[in-house]
Structure 1
Amino acid sequence: MHWYVDALRKYATFGGRARRAEYWMFGLVNYAIGVVLLAAGAALDLGPPYSPFALFWLAMFLPALAVSVRRLHDTGRTGWWLLLGLIPVVGHFVLLVFHCTESRPGENEYGAPPKYIGAHV
């Protein structure tokens, strides 16, 4: 759970690097919370603009974007690669591969590898 909290602490921090675990756990927890909120909104018969899921999505958009940029930084790429997501299917597949790619060892232009900075053991 600390990966999720760490990503939220860096709410709008686009600099630095993020490990694969931080990126994927943040996404997994957001997905689980989203499913619960979607079900709650459906059970309460709330409209789209006021649904708990829509409010949660708005609140999590910026940290999700930030952790994705930091994950790309960890693989040695700039955050501008996220624009590939605008290309249907192919862009999402390429980003999936980038997000699954192992971190670049050693320090790069975005900082030291996060695996060794404040690592949670």
Structure 2
Amino acid sequence: MTFVDAIKVCFSKYADFSGRAGRSEFWWWVLFNFLAYIALAVVSDKLALVFMVATLVPYFAVTARRLHDTDRSGWLQLVGLIPLVGWVFVIVWCAQDSKSPNKYA
């Protein structure tokens, strides 16, 4: 999946927490959010905050779909609320290979 395709898919599945998302879709979305936030923060902090809030739901949705692709529940992204250690677990889970036959197919 290309950078532009991943952004289109994530915005078209704005609040779709079901299904699966491949690694490329997830990581392109993360890169897009990071770059857009930095660019907007240079222009205006308030604009960057609005962008962050507007992309929060699709960020959670694509993360849930990515965890589904690794045969995990999307609710496991709540582990990221644990300071420091939680983020590491979520990043490792999202970086893992897809598991082909899984219950979220």
TM-score tier by shorter-chain length is: over 0.9
Kindly provide the CA deviation profile for residues 6-26 of structure 1, in whole angstroms up to 9, marking residues without a partner as x.
111100000000000000000
Between the aligned partners of 1:35 and 1:94, the Cα distance in structure 2 is: 25
Instruction: Show the counterpart of 2:69.
Output: 74
Structure with max Cα Rg: 1
Question: Where does structure 1 lack aligned partners over 5 or more consecutive residues?
Answer: 42-47, 112-121
Q: How far 1:86 moved relative to its partner? A: 1.1
How many aligned residue pairs are there? Answer: 102
Kindly provide the CA deviation profile for residues 24-48 of structure 1, in whole angstroms up to 9, marking residues without a partner as x.
000101111111100001xxxxxx6
Q: Find out whether 1:25 has 2:28 as its counterpart.
A: yes
Secondary structure in 1 aligned to 2:71? coil
Q: Find out whether 1:64 has 2:67 as its counterpart.
A: no
Q: Find out whether 1:110 has 2:104 as its counterpart.
A: yes
User: Runs of 4 or more off by more than 3 Å in structure 1?
Assistant: none
Instruction: Show the counterpart of 1:94.
Output: 89
Q: Find out whether 1:9 has 2:4 as its counterpart.
A: no
Between the aligned partners of 1:76 and 1:52, the Cα distance in structure 2 is: 36
| Between structures 1 and 2, the one with greater helix share | 2
Secondary structure in 1 aligned to 2:43? helix
Between the aligned partners of 1:86 and 1:31, the Cα distance in structure 2 is: 19
Between the aligned partners of 1:58 and 1:105, the Cα distance in structure 2 is: 33
Q: Could you tell me the TM-score, scaled by structure 1's length?
A: 0.81
State the one-letter code of the partner of 2:87: H
Secondary structure in 2 aligned to 1:77? coil
Between the aligned partners of 2:85 and 2:7, the Cα distance in structure 1 is: 28
> Identity over aligned residues, as a percent?
37
Question: Where does structure 2 lack aligned partners over 5 or more consecutive residues?
Answer: none
